[in-house]
Amino acid sequence: MYRKIMPGLCGLALLAVGVVSVQSGDARPDNVALAAADARPAALSEAQIVAAAGATTPFVTVEAESGTLGGGARVRSISPGATPPTKATLEGEASGYALVELKANGDSVTLTNNTGKNANSLVVRASIPDSAGGGGINATLNLYVNGTFRQAISLSSQQAWNYRGATTNPDDPRAGGVAYRFYNEFPLRVTGAAIAPGSTIQLKKDAGNTAAVYDIDSVDLENVGAALAQPANSISVVSNGADPGFQKDSTVAIQDTVNAARSQGKSVWIPQGKYLTNSLVSKPLDFTGVKVQGAGMWYTTLFRKVPLPANSWRSQIVVGTKTTLTDLQIDTNAIWRGVGDTGGSDYGVNAGGTGWLIDRLWTRHIDSNWLSGTNGVLQNSRTADSYGDGFNINNGNTPNPEKLGLNITVRNSFARNTGDDSFATYSDAGAAGQNGQVSGAKILNNTAIAPWWANGIRIAGGKNVEVRNNVVNSVSSNNALDISVFGDSGHPLESATVAGNVLQGGGGWNGVRHGVHI
């Protein structure tokens, strides 16, 4: 067995889990047996394990600290061997545990497009300060290409800076809470010509950039292709009154289109645009039994603008039996965690039933993607800035036959800045022990970066679980990999295979400091 376990942030060395077979009939994680002799495949080197792990993404991430600094810009980081912090920090929540700070006018960081491809789209992961009373601020940061000003990037802290333990609400810095969740991602299409290979990208604080400080973590470079065309035998939501211009609510129009497509045996087409949903109708969209396709995750966005403070407002998308959901983005105005709670958060998708498929989905500022049912697959997707888990395979915490949690697969997907486990399988027996055991869950070739709370990957009960060839990097608070049960009512972890995973940086500020915790 090949397991090099590190203690936490103070140990930033590579941790690659070769093969770990877990079998136990005891629900207590401290009694879980690891049954593996020397199961590391002899033909695979550490470099080969690393190369095979993680998601294949359409973008390349460049860490800000790898760039060239200008003005008085400086790198802030947690050094290998340093004592882990005892509370959340900007360094602890950064990927690679390092960031570039731009504080004075003229401060900059310059990165080079070494992807070998044009980049017409960027995702800047950054933090700017909260407002004094909470609720965040808005500010711009200037983008230069090859030294020439290209555009101002709009940043915000309105969906960052929550306060753990605040006595009023999680968005109030004056209520005795401890700050965390500092970062947000800011996608932008580059104006003008694409950024050619070898060109430089400079992020610079100029006089018109009014935030007191800009903390830059990373930049994703991507060459986004053309928008997809409407498929044959489909009904456009626009034909039923949906508004791609984000002026009027489209919830009813989208649901009416889904209902019509279901009765006619057709699919649903959501053209390029940004669609306002759930501003007037407090009822989840239900896509059960229909294929719903957008023009691409950079082109079609369903945006939930929930009235805040919300009150039992539900805005998830239901994915049921024989549903296919593909090629779009889901975003929200939620500001703190709590499904159907006052902060406006809800699941991205809530999947159940049999034989569903989710492909090329981008979710942002949601609570979690909640995945149950039988024979479901989520693949080639990404999630960012969530308030809960990234992708959670479960039994719905219910004995409902539509929520069994059998043979659910999550593969080749990317999660960053999640507010709970980035990838997880949860098997809850329930208070009366009536919920079925999650079985056949597969978490394969995924990447988890910088979850701001909980674990990179958590295996919480289950049978015949497979967790293979994933990458976890820069966990802020808990563990890179946690093997356990679900709370006090969890089913035991009966059997699991954990193989080829690469874990870098595990454990952090809240005292749970492990690379792997069993």
Give the pLDDT confidence of 439-497 residue by residue, as tens digits.
999 999 999 999 999 999 999 999 999 999 999 999 999 999 999 998 889 999 999 99
217-231 per-position pLDDT tens digit: 999 999 999 999 999
Give 413: exposed, middle or buried? Use CB within 10 Å, 0-12, 13-18, 19+.
buried
Separate counts of helices (H) and strands (E) for the chain: 3, 41
For residue 463, the 8-state DSSP code is: B
Q: Largest alpha-carbon pair distance within the chain?
A: 65
Task: Please give the domain boundaries of the chain with CATH numbers for all domains.
Answer: 62-222 (2.60.120.260)
Q: Check residue 506 and give its pLDDT.
A: 74
Q: Is 485 in contact with 455 (CB distance < 8 Å)?
A: no
For 336, the token pair is 């703190």
The verdict on pTM exceeding 0.85 is: yes
Helix (H, G, I), strand (E, B) or coil at 102: strand
Rg, the chain, Cα only: 22
Query: For the segment 248-258, what is each residue's pLDDT rounded down to a tens digit?
Result: 999 999 999 99
Q: In this predicted structure, what is the pLDDT of residue 512?
A: 67
pLDDT of residue 15: 45
H or E element that contains 327: strand 324-332
